[in-house]
Copies of this chain bind each other. A is one copy, B any other.
Amino acid sequence: MTRINVAVAGASGYAGGEVLRLLLGHPDVTIGALTGGSNAGENFGRLQPHLVPLADRTLEATTPEVLAGHDVVFLGLPHGASAEVAAALGDDVVVIDCGADFRLTDPAAWERFYGSPHAGSWPYGMPELAAQRGQLRGAKRIAVPGCYPTVSTLTAAPAVAAGLVEPNLVVVAASGTSGAGKAAKTNLLGSEVMGNASAYGVGGVHRHTPEIIQNLNLLTEEKVRVSFTPLLVPMPRGILATVTGKLTGPLSTDEAYEVYSQAYADEPFVTVLPQGMWPQTKSVLGSNSVHLQVAVDEEAGQLIAVGAVDNLAKGTGGAAVQCMNLALGLDESAGLTTIGLAP
């Protein structure tokens, strides 16, 4: 087949770098323009030294001219910047946005959490959720889900869809630091984060909260409420999400496990672990896998599900490539792996 010519805008950041890491292993892709902002003009090998085959490239400026002529353009841009770049690209170009701009369908939710006008919404890049896969096939514009919403949604979904729990969930998710991006900030220095666990964005103020709720509302007629608490833990990659929900009736762990196993039986990238074995982020490092497990605490009257993803892989770049595959009618798994890098 003709090779697909792909550009990445924001190629020097973590999302862009991860998209490129995966595309370099994709059988059908040729890497076209690599663009960036303040460091445009620099040697790409110095910016992303792990991407050896691109070491001789130069980062170009993110302009319509540079991005023109590609079949697919991935955007790894700061919030608010995607709409203008996308508008300059033709309708025949597949544009896959790793940022938040087009994820939320509700303008009010967008404005409350982001404080800026709503740019609109695009097909949502989570094939495993309800009817999303169908909408991604042939799509020309795709919004890649946030990292926390990816794992939180997929960890909660079977219980919510099957009505095992009341739609009032407690999600606590421990994340590595790369989710916070590559911009230099004192609180993200290695000296600060190593040996340290902290909470942030507590009390319903984290911007990924409405996205989780939006996703779960597709699965039940009841109005879903979510208390979402993100934690920062000392590792570069990975999110471990715990979802706790009050049982709606008697339920055993075996029964819950069966619901989860059935829910994802046909999903290539979701693994419900052997019963009694709990997810760890290291098992999904660099992979497109989601690892899940569930238990019922009869004393507490709660169901607890735990999920692990690599925030940069399945949580961002892997989902982006998976969406490209669907959009172009390729094998959904092309260029992706279920195998993590451990230990």
Residue A2 lies at the interface, judged by CB distance under 8 Å to chain B: no
**Copies of this chain, whole number:** 4
Residues of B within 8 A of A278 (CB): 198-200, 202
Asked, given contacts A202-B304, A227-B297, A341-B341, whether A195 binds B271 with beta carbons under 8 Å apart, the answer is: no
Give A255 to B279 CA distance when docked, in angstroms: 38
Residues 299-314 of A, flagged 1 when their CB comes within 8 A of B and 0 if not, give 1111010101000100
Residues 221-258 of A, flagged 1 when their CB comes within 8 A of B and 0 if not, give 00001111101011111111010101000000100000
A306: contacting residue among B202, B235, B253, B343, CB under 8 A: B202
Asked, given contacts A174-B231, A195-B235, whether A21 binds B55 with beta carbons under 8 Å apart, the answer is: no
Give A50 to B288 CA distance when docked, in angstroms: 11
Inter-chain contact B194/A304, CB cutoff 8 Å:
no
Instruction: List 8 additional A-B contacts (Cβ < 8 Å) besides A197-B280, A225-B301.
Output: A52-B340, A174-B174, A189-B190, A190-B194, A194-B235, A203-B297, A231-B240, A233-B235
Give A242 to B340 CA distance when docked, in angstroms: 29
Inter-chain contact A186/B183, CB cutoff 8 Å:
yes
8 Å CB interface, A267-308 against B: 271, 273-274, 277-287, 289, 291, 293, 295-302, 304, 306, 308
**Of A186, A192, A226, which is in contact with the most chain B CB atoms at under 10 Å from its CB?**
A192
Residue A29 lies at the interface, judged by CB distance under 8 Å to chain B: no
Residues of B within 8 A of A174 (CB): 174, 197, 231, 233
Residue A139 lies at the interface, judged by CB distance under 8 Å to chain B: no
Residue A170 lies at the interface, judged by CB distance under 8 Å to chain B: yes
A37 to chain B minimum Cβ distance, whole angstroms, is 13
Inter-chain contact A233/B197, CB cutoff 8 Å:
yes
Interface-located stretch among A41-49, A65-73, A86-94: A41-49
Inter-chain contact A240/B197, CB cutoff 8 Å:
yes
Inter-chain contact A279/B196, CB cutoff 8 Å:
no
Inter-chain contact A286/B236, CB cutoff 8 Å:
no
A148 to chain B minimum Cβ distance, whole angstroms, is 14
